[in-house]
Amino acid sequence: MKAVLVGATRGMGRALARLLAGRGDALALLGRDPNELLTSSRDLAARGASGPVVTGHLDLAEPEGFAAALDAAERALGSFDALIVTGGDFAPQETLERDSARLARLLEVNFTGTVVLCQQTAERLARRGGGTICAFSSVAGDRARRSNYLYGASKAGLSVFLDGLGLAYADRGVRVLAVRPGFVKTSMTAGLRVPPFAGEPESVARVVLRALDAGAPVVYVPPIWRWVMLVIRLLPRAVMRRARF
Amino acid sequence: MDGLSVETIAGWGRHPVCRAAVLRPERLRLPRAGRVLPRGLGRSYGDAAVPASAQSLVLETVRADRILAFEPSTGTLTCEAGLSLAEILRVFVPRGWFPPVSPGTKFVTVGGCIASDVHGKNHHRDGSFGGFVGRLVLETADGRLVECGPDRERELFLATVGGMGLTGLITEATVRLRPIETPWMFVEVEPAAHLAEMLDGLRHAGKDWPYTVGWIDCLATGSGLGRGIIMRGRHVSRGEAPGARPRETSVRGLPFDGPQWLLSPLLMRAFNAVYYRIQSRRTGGRFVPYDAFFYPLDTVKDWNRLYGRSGFLQYQCVVPRAAGGPVLSELLERVSRAGATSFLAVIKDCGPESDAYLSFPLEGTTLAMDLPYRGPTTEALVHELDGTVVRAGGRIYLAKDAVTRRDDFERMVPRLPQWQRVRDRWDPEHRFGSALSARLLGDEP
C-alpha cells in the first residue's frame, strides 16, 4: 500500500504507521511540525517502510493548503492509494465552554478541515480508479453526553460525513473506513480519568489495520466499545439527563 | 497537549510506593523548573524510579521510543531513550541483530539500561550495557542538551552510565547491537550439588560460553548449600538452526495478588526442590527460542504480584572473586536461617568492572534473591547482608535496592565522591532526584 498519513507522529497514528512500515508499505507523513515529521519518518524507515518516508506540511486548520500537500505527496510516492487521518484536536469540555476561539479551532480541525481533506482526496482517488480513506472519528460522536458534547459534536459531524462518503464513492472504487475509538491511552487523553475498557494505541492500531484490510466501513476500538455504545445509544434521554458522565 | 495525571508509583518489587504527578510525553523535554524523576518501564525493583515525594514530577520516557537511525553494516542503532529492548528485539532480530547486553527482562527501556548500567548473562565476557553505548544525549538540569560519550564529555558520560537518572534526562542514545544468525539459542544445563561446584562450574563454562548463569535453590542447607543448576548458552548459527522460526511466546497475566500462604517456607522449599529435580534431569543440549533463554519470567505479565500486596525486595550484591565462596555461603546461610527467601536465587560470575562510577558489577560473583517484604525484619536482614558485603569489599545493585542505609552504601562505593562531584557540577540544585537518592545520598525528599 502507498499511504498518506496525517497525524502519524503521535498516539494511534504513530502506532498504525509503524504497523504499515513493518509490512513494507510506502508512506508519506503530513503534519505541522517539520522536526517531528522528520524524526517519525526516520523511525518508520528504520522499521521497514519501503523507500524513503517522505514528509510535507499540512495543517488541518488550513484547507487552502490541502491540494498542494496532496500533490507533493503524490509526486513523492508516485501516486498513492490510501489516506489515513488520525490527527485531530482535543480539549476538555470546560475549556471549550469558556474559550470560544479554542472551540472554533477544534471544530475547524476535527470537522471542517478533515471533511474537506477527505472529500478532496476521495475525488482524486475516484478519478484514478479507487483507493481507501480512513479517518478517526470517536465514540463521542455516537451520543451526546454533557461531559463532552462539544468535542462529540465535531466527531458526530465527521462520522455522518464519513458514512455518506463511503456510500457516495463506493461505485467509484473508494472505500471509506470510519474508526471510532473509545478511550485510548495517548498523550491526547493524558490527565483524564481513565474509564473502564481503555485501550492502548498499539492494540488499537492492530484492530484498525485488520478493518482496513477487510474493507470494513466502521470499526470501534477497542472492539468492546461497539457494544458499550450500543447500550449508551439506547438509553432514554431522561436517563442521559440524570447521568453524570 | 500533554496532561498530568496523579498516579501511584512503585518499582517492580511494589515497595515502597509514592503518589506523584506523571508526565508521559511523546517528545522528551524537561519542564522549566521543579524536581524531576526520569522513569522508563519501571522494572527497577526498589526505589530508584520512585519519587521521593509528591513534589517531584515523574517523567516517563516510554512514549519517546522512536528509532532515529540504524546502520545495517555495523548494527549501530540510534534511538530515543524510551525504546524498549522488547521493541528492539521485535524489529531487529529478524534482521540479524541482538541487544549487546540484556537483563532478565526485555521490558526495559534503553534509557533505563544506561541509567542502571544493566548486565546480563554475558557479563563475564562482554561487560555491562554502558560499554556498548557510543553516545548519548542528556538534557541537563539547566535545560541544555549535552552530547556525551566515551570520548566526549567523558566525565558526564561515566556519571550517567549507572547514574540512576540523577545526572539528567537521557533523551537519546547510540548503541552497538550484536550480529546473530538466527533467533535460536543452544542451551546446556548442568546440575551443581553445592556452592563450590556451582562456582567452579560457572567459571569453567565462562571460558567457552558467551552466556552463563546459575539458579540456586537458596533454601537448601548443610551440604547442599548453594546447590542448583548451571545454564550456558550461545546463539545458534544458520547451519545448525532447527528449521522453522520459533513460535512467538504467549504472555499470560497474573490476575490477582498472591496470597500469603503461597510464600510459606514449606511451600517454597518444596517448589525449589522440585524445580531442582526437574532441571537436573534436563542435562544435555537443546535448541530454544531466545525468549525462553533470556526472558523466562516475561511470559507471566505481572509476576511481581505473586508476592502479594506488601511486595518484595530483591537483594542483589556482588563480591570480589578473592572473597568468593565463604562470603557467598555466609549470605545464603543468613537468608536461609531467616527463612526469608523464596523461589530461586540467581548466581553469576562477573567480569571486570566498568569505568562508570556507580556501575554495579565488579570482577567476582553476583547473587540475587527475592525477599518477600515483611517490614522491619526484612530490612534488618538486608542490613545484616549489607554488613557482610561491605566487609568482603562488595556492593549492592542500585536497580534492585530499596532499604540499604546511606553509611553502608558509602562504604561499598569508593568512587562515590567522584560521581558526586560530576553530579554537583551538572545539577547543583539536585533537580533530578528519587526516593533512592533521598535515602542513599541525602537529597531533600
Is there a domain that residue B422 lies in? no
Beta-bridge partners for B139: B145, B169
CA A237/CA A225 separation, integer angstroms: 20
Residues from chain B that touch A15, judged by Cβ atoms under 8 A, are: none
The total domain count for chain B is 3
Shared domain check, B310 and B250: yes
- Asked if the structure places residue B435 within a domain, the reply is no
Count of alpha carbons within 13 angstroms of residue B363, beta-carbon side: 4
pLDDT per position as a tens digit, B216-266:
988 788 899 999 999 999 999 999 988 777 777 667 776 677 776 766 767
The secondary structure of B362-374 as a DSSP string is -SEEEEEEEEE--
Q: Is the Cβ of A206 closer than 8 Å to some Cβ of chain B?
A: no
A218-221 β-sheet, strand order? A54-57, A26-31, A2-6, A82-85, A131-136, A174-181, A218-221
- Residue among A118, A144, A131, A116 at smallest CA distance from A173: A131
Instruction: Specify if B265 maps to a domain.
Output: yes
Do B67 and A39 count as a contact with CB atoms less than 8 A apart?
no
Task: Give the β-pairing of A26-31 and A54-57.
Answer: parallel
The parent domain of residue B72 ranges over 67-180
Parse chain A into domains and list their residue ranges.
2-242
User: Would you call B8 an interface residue with chain A, using a CB distance cutoff of 8 Å?
Assistant: no
Confidence at residue B341, expressed as pLDDT on a 0 to 100 scale: 65
ipTM for the whole predicted complex goes beyond 0.85: yes
> Mind listing the pLDDT tens digit for each residue in B412-424?
999 999 999 999 9
Q: From its phi and psi, is residue A6 left (phi > 0), alpha (psi between -120 and 50) or beta?
A: beta
Domain containing residue B80: CATH number: 3.30.465.10
Same domain, yes or no, for B47 and B108? no
Residue B20 is assigned to a structural domain of this protein: yes
- Decide if A161 contacts A120 (C-beta within 8 A): no
Which residue from B118, B94, B95, B121 is spatially nearest to B107, judged by alpha carbons? Answer: B118
Asked whether residue B235 falls in the same domain as residue B344, the answer is: yes
Helix (H, G, I), strand (E, B) or coil at B180: coil
pLDDT, position B242: 84
Is some CB atom of chain A closer than 8 A to the CB atom of B6?
no
Distance from CA of B385 to the nearest CA of A (A): 42
B238-266 as b/e: b if 16+ CB within 10 A:
eeebeeeebeeeeeeeeeebbeeeebeee
Instruction: Write out the CATH class of domain A2-242.
Output: alpha beta
CB–CB of A190 and B27 under 8 A?
no
Regarding whether B223 and B195 lie in a shared domain, the answer is: yes
Residues B294 and B121 sit within 8 Å (Cβ to Cβ):
yes
Instruction: State yes or no: pLDDT of B1 exceeds 50.
Output: no
d(CA B52, CA B430): 12
Provide the 8-state DSSP code for B322. Answer: T
Which residues between 51 and 80 in chain B have a beta carbon less than 8 angstroms from any beta carbon of chain A? 63, 66-70
Is residue B57 within 8 A of residue B67, CB to CB? The reply is no
Distance between A179 CA and the closest CA of chain B, angstroms? 22
* CA–CA dist B35, B52 (Å, integer): 10
Residue B341: CA count within 13 A, CB half-sphere? 29
Rounded-to-integer distance, Cα B38 and Cα B297, Å: 25
Q: Within this chain, do residues B241 and B135 fall inside the same structural domain, yes or no? A: no
In a shared domain, residues B103 and B29? no
Residue B81 in this model has a pLDDT that exceeds 90: yes
* pLDDT above 80 (res B280): no
- Is pTM beyond 0.90? Reply is yes
CA distance A227 to chain B (A): 24
Rounded to a whole number of angstroms, the distance from the CA of B130 to the nearest CA of chain A is 23
Examine the pLDDT at B127 and tell me if it is beyond 90: yes
Residue B249 falls inside a structural domain: yes
Whether B43 is in a domain gets the answer yes
CB B179 within 8 A of CB B96: yes
Choose among A40, A190, A194: nearest Cβ to B24.
Answer: A190
DSSP state string for B53-84: STTSEEEE-TT---EEEEETTTTEEEEETT-B
Is residue B284's pLDDT more than 80?
A: no
Give dist(CA A241, CA A145) in Å, integer.
9
Which of A14, A43, A187 is nearest residue B25 as measured by Cβ atoms? Answer: A187
**Are A43 and B67 within 8 A, CB to CB?**
yes
Selected for mutation to probe chain B from A41, A42, A99, A186 (highest B CB count within 10 Å) is A42
What is the pairing mode between strands B344-350 and B67-71?
Answer: unpaired
Are B115 and B259 found together in one domain? no
Q: What does the pLDDT look like over A82-119, one tens digit per residue?
A: 999 999 999 999 999 999 999 999 999 999 999 999 99
Q: Cα dist. B106→B97, B154, B299 in Å? A: 15, 28, 11
Q: Are residues B170 and B211 in the same domain?
A: no
Of B40-54, B281-295, B393-407, which range is least confident? B281-295
Amino acid (1-letter code) at residue B51: P
Contact between chains at B68 and A42 (C-beta distance less than 8 A): yes
Residues of A carrying an active site annotation: 151
Return the pLDDT at B305.
83
* Burial class, A56, CB count within 10 angstroms (exposed 0-12 / middle 13-18 / buried 19+): buried
Segment B122-137 shows an average pLDDT of 98
Decide: helix, strand or coil at residue B24. Answer: coil
CA nearest to B228, candidates B101, B368, B358 = B368
Are B359 and B216 in a shared domain?
yes
Mean pLDDT over all residues of chain B?
Answer: 92
**Which residue of B26, B59, B97, B107 is the best one to mutate when testing the A interface, meaning the one whose CB has the most A CBs within 10 A?**
B26
Query: What residues contact B241, with CB distance under 8 A and at least 6 apart?
Result: B181, B182, B184, B287
> Do residue B87 and residue B56 come from a single domain?
no
Long-range contacts, A94-97 (Cβ 8 Å, 24+): A96/A150, A96/A151, A97/A150
3-class state of residue B232 by DSSP: strand
* pLDDT (tens digit per residue) in B338-376: 877 666 789 999 999 999 999 999 999 999 999 989 999
Per-residue pLDDT of chain A (245 residues; tens, 9 = 90+): 999 999 999 999 999 999 999 999 999 999 999 999 999 999 999 999 998 999 999 999 999 999 999 999 999 999 999 999 999 999 999 999 999 999 999 999 999 999 999 999 999 999 999 999 999 999 999 999 999 999 999 999 999 999 999 999 999 999 999 999 999 998 888 888 888 889 999 999 999 999 999 999 999 999 999 999 999 999 999 999 887 77
Cβ within 8 Å of residue B393, ≥6 positions away: B319, B320, B322, B323
For residue A38, give the chain B residue with the closest CA: B68
- Residue B152 pLDDT: 97
Question: B341, B320, B312: which is closest to B393 by C-alpha?
Answer: B320
Domain of residue B294, CATH code: 3.30.70.2520
